């Protein structure tokens, strides 16, 4: 323990991720399928976005189902008893209902009676926002084992007649357990930001208190994602670059200390632009799953992290930088150190 300016700073006080898991639905929607639905081509989609296919949940498969499947895997990997979970956080913009929260629905599926539940709305940045909250909870001793779920059924809010958005999104879920004890990923830093002035560039126009559902909102297709693609693209690159640097600065690291980079999987060209900051990293150290899953919103970097770890690619002691960007606008970056474990 070190005393700094009257405050006691415990240098070992760092939350960690002790178990992770992800889930994607079985059904594949390929670029060839989309060619039959809208005026697009595999060539356009691949060159402009890097996406080849994405997963689509069944009609009766909701965000809570996908989140539950991912949560079971995270709990199993963490080796804690489900009863040890004392808070549930769910990052989503496609909750099963406006209320109750999807966190409550997942609590019920897991049979975790009385555990407090909360949904976090930060769009594609949702996982890192929830991670920061979970880390603060366990570091302050408010809770011991927080279940974090990041899940979105983007197909429920995607207009499959709009070629500028329907080629981008897919469904999926990720989950992790955040605790103070156990092996996995130590959380060195999570840096976040937001700019509400850009709220109109990426939104779901109707269905909230501003524009409740009506015949008009349905006929105007205002219950689907509405995005200014070009502008969003520029902000995404700028903000993820900026927050990545801020995150590294906070722990006294430089780009050279990073072994793996996992940027938000929204567009391969955005990923390439961010990767330029990390010139020492080989292409295969900038991890991508976008070609298989498209943009799965809150779960996108989690699904990539889970796949990379399950492949056994991450070595003990390696540092990973994760960065996200989403509606709001919101953004974030997290620096994790792999401390081993299954
Ligand atoms: O997760 C949150 C963050 N999301 C993002 O960061 C997404 C950011 N934006 C993007 O990824 C890109 O802006 C898009 C992929 C959405 C669009 O790519 P773009 O290179 O910026 O294309 P554009 O919007 O400038 O459109 C170029 C052309 C247009 O045709 P004209 O006006 O030049 O004749 C579009 O109508 O491409 C057309 N277009 C398409 N053509 C074939 C747009 N979508 C398609 C399509 N297939 N699917």
Question: In this predicted structure, what is the pLDDT of residue 342?
Answer: 66
Task: Using most ligand atoms within 8 A of CB, pick from 30, 162, 229, 231 the residue to mutate for ligand 1.
Answer: 229
pTM higher than 0.85 for the full model?
yes
Cα 164 to averaged position of ligand 1 atoms, centre (Å): 5
At 207 the three-state DSSP class reads coil
Mean pLDDT of the 99-120 span: 98
- Of residues 65, 235, 264, 319, which has the active-site annotation? 264
295 carries an active-site annotation: yes
On the question of pLDDT at 13 being above 90, the answer is no
Ligand 1 atom closest to the CA of 167, numbered from 1 = 48
Ligand 1 atom closest to the CA of 264, numbered from 1 = 1
Q: Residue 288's Cα: distance from chain center in Å?
A: 13
**Residue 278's closest CA among 316, 306, 248, 304?**
248
- Are 309 and 108 in contact by the 8 Å Cβ rule? The answer is no
Q: Is 166 touching ligand 1 by the criterion CB < 6 Å?
A: no
Ligand 1 atom closest to the CA of 295, numbered from 1 = 1
Work out whether strand 146-153 and strand 16-23 pair parallel, antiparallel, or are unpaired. Answer: unpaired
The CATH H-level (homologous superfamily) assignment of domain 2-183 is: Thiolase/Chalcone synthase (3.40.47.10)
The string of pLDDT tens digits covering residues 167-186 is: 999 999 999 999 999 999 99
Measured distance CA(154)–CA(60) in Å, rounded? 14
Mean pLDDT of the 122-146 span: 98
Tell the residue nearest (CA) to atom 36 of ligand 1: 164
Cα 309 to averaged position of ligand 1 atoms, centre (Å): 32
Region 188-338: CATH code: 3.40.47.10
| Residue spans in the chain of domains classed CATH 3.40.47.10 | 2-183, 188-338
**Residue 204's closest CA among 188, 190, 221, 183?**
221
Helix residue ranges per DSSP H, the chain:
31-35, 42-49, 63-78, 102-110, 126-140, 163-166, 215-219, 229-250, 268-275, 290-293, 300-310
On the question of pLDDT at 231 being above 60, the answer is yes
The string of pLDDT tens digits covering residues 14-64 is: 999 999 999 999 999 999 999 999 999 999 999 999 999 999 999 999 999
Ligand 1 atom closest to the CA of 165, numbered from 1 = 16
Tell the residue nearest (CA) to atom 39 of ligand 1: 164
Question: In this predicted structure, what is the pLDDT of residue 341?
Answer: 76
Tokens 């500028």 identify what position?
164
At 114 the three-state DSSP class reads coil
Give the total residue count for the chain: 342
**Residue 230's closest CA among 194, 270, 199, 196?**
270
């Amino acid at each position: 323990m070190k005393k700094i300016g009257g405050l006691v700073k415990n240098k070992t006080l760092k939350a960690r991720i002790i178990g992770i898991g992800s889930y994607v639905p079985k059904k594949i929607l390929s670029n060839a399928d989309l060619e039959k639905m809208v005026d697009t081509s595999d060539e356009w989609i691949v060159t402009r976005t890097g996406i080849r296919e994405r997963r689509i949940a069944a009609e009766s498969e909701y965000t809570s189902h996908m989140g539950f499947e991912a949560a079971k895997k995270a709990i199993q990997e963490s080796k804690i008893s489900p009863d040890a979970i004392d808070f549930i956080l769910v990052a989503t913009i496609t909750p099963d209902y406006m209320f109750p929260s999807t966190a409550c629905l997942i609590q019920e599926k897991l049979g975790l009676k009385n555990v407090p539940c909360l949904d976090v709305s930060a769009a594609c940045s949702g996982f890192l926002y929830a991670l920061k909250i979970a880390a603060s909870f366990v570091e302050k001793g408010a809770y011991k084992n927080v279940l974090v779920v990041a899940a979105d059924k983007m197909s429920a809010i995607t207009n499959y007649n709009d070629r500028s958005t329907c080629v981008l999104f897919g469904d999926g879920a990720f989950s992790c357990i955040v605790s103070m004890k156990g092996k996995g990923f130590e959380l060195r830093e999570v840096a976040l930001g937001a700019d509400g002035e850009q709220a109109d560039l990426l939104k779901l126009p109707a269905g909230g208190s501003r524009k409740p559902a009506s015949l008009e909102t349905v006929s105007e297709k205002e219950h689907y994602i509405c995005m200014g693609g070009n502008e969003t693209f520029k902000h995404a690159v700028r903000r993820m670059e900026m927050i990545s640097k801020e995150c590294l600065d906070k722990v006294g690291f430089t780009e050279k200390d990073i072994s793996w980079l996992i940027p938000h999987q929204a567009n391969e060209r955005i990923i390439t632009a961010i990767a330029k900051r990390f010139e020492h990293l080989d292409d295969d150290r900038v991890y991508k799953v976008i070609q298989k899953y498209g943009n799965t919103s809150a779960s996108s970097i989690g699904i990539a992290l889970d796949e990379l770890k399950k492949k056994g690619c991450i070595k003990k002691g390696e540092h990973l930088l994760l960065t996200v960007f989403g509606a709001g606008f919101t953004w974030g970056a997290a620096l994790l150190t792999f401390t081993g474990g299954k």
